[in-house]
Chains A and B, each alone.
Chain A
């Protein structure tokens, strides 16, 4: 069994998530080869073949060209699995490759059990195992789900891929920066975060009051930021900030794995949630089963005494 792992390269750097792909292949027990559209200096530190195409020529992302480079590597390696990280890059590119290969695709895999792929379902409350029936399968893995080796070592055998035709219907116009980070949560010792369980925008003030009473900063989960209740600079998780405070209090946060990946390095985690089965319980040291809007004011009041 063989897996072709598609590395990710952004702003001139190989992303560490590329080593999560290696961890996934190891869990699957698959031989591996990798593809990097980047630069040789940034080649992943692994043994085995790395197909390298130059980002200076093909862009950090161009769907037409990157698809053709991946397909060229697929042709040479004939892998059983083609694996991406479930980031915006894999999100866009994986289904293009799957469609071209007429392969089944399994998105956002969180685990491997007996060679079967596990994916989350219904906001990670459930999991399902998916069995591919096609000859090749395209997979995206959830960021943070497969822990890579602490210090990857190895020397790749570089094979270059060049496309004869670099025409593309898509015209890259430019990048725009995301909103500035106004709050630096990475240095906070105490973070109190609001999740969807707070119910509505007006209720965020109640969580902010608890954060103040505990001498900490306000954090938030992605749904709350997406809904416009809290500024993006407060977001904790893979698309926000990664944090490692002494104390993390999750208020009404069910614990999507992207959020967990951003806060699981906290020393001590308190979860306040009405659902005792919510995935946040997986990383919480202490769980209070309650409606946040009933419990948090009581807690703040006691702290202020």
Chain B
């Protein structure tokens, strides 16, 4: 049985900068990382592999350079890594993306049966949280979002029991397999790749499936298959608080300015 993990290569949003003149995203030099939530999905798949002997396939839709992301997954121990890459997939919103990922999972299912699909709860660059549910709906899988614990997998009855993280409480539910789970960071702690695995992953094969393999109607993929489109990206205008001192070059002097300010506002004792 396959456990399929969907991973996405994203820009490291903590390092994203805005060009002050053009007010647009500075793309040069921004490092790419595996979407942090997806790394926990990947970790959980590998734990299920250790526990139950499932085979793990990692899939990612993206440009050819997203191969690097899948190679990281190979270094951690996934059995298959597949990059879904085609010009016809580009510019996709969440609906068109889930269409491509779902088709790839369907193809894997024909190979050896898929029991679980694991995704991060959201990506850090888009934050839409829709791709996982979109996959579940298309494939008719059970959808379980915000999972922070997998309690049990019952092969005989084809059921899974998980705990979901809600506001102020958790919910435990049982549902039929196959299932698509989106996971939160609390689910597990990450492992680090062992050196021999990292070296081996450089040799291992990342398969590339383009639309000649998936054979999707191009009106349902990429920009054409997207019911939402982004008209404008911009940096939000806002009123700024007063910047005091020069905290970078004169921390001590700036600390004094800040303390004086707080004392004058009666927020600190003299």
Contacts and interface: CB of A to CB of B under 8 A. Distances in A.
Interface of A: 10, 61, 63, 87-88, 91-92, 95-96, 98-100, 102-108, 116, 119-134, 137, 169-178, 190, 196, 214, 226-227, 239, 246-247, 268-272, 274, 276-277, 279, 281-291, 294-295, 298-299, 301-303
Most buried by B among A95, A226, A246, A294: A95
Contacts of B259: 299, 302-303
Given A102-B227, A288-B243, 15 more contacts: A63-B143, A91-B145, A92-B146, A95-B130, A104-B227, A105-B95, A128-B231, A128-B234, A132-B227, A175-B171, A226-B186, A279-B238, A281-B241, A298-B252, A302-B259
B128 A294 contact: no
Nearest to A274: B248
Contacts of A302: 252, 255-256, 259
A105 B94 contact: yes
Interface string B156-178: 00000101111111111111100
Nearest to A100: B137
A172 B233 contact: no
A126 B231 contact: no
Interface residues of B, number: 76
B211 interface: no
Given A127-B234, A129-B230, A88 B242 contact: no
A44 to B, nearest CB: 19
Interface of B: 11, 13-14, 16, 18, 25, 93-95, 124-130, 133-134, 137-138, 142-143, 145-146, 161, 163-176, 184-186, 226-236, 238-248, 251-252, 254-256, 258-259, 261-262, 265, 267-268
Given A107-B130, A302-B255, A99 B137 contact: yes
Nearest to B241: A284
A272 B247 contact: yes
Contacts of B127: 107-108, 119-121
Contact of A177 (B169, B229, B238, B251): B169
B185 A226 contact: yes
A298 B235 contact: no
Nearest to B23: A126
Contacts of A137: 228
B238 A282 contact: yes
Given A299-B255, A302-B256, A123 B13 contact: yes
Contact of B133 (A88, A99, A285): A99
A191 to B, nearest CB: 12
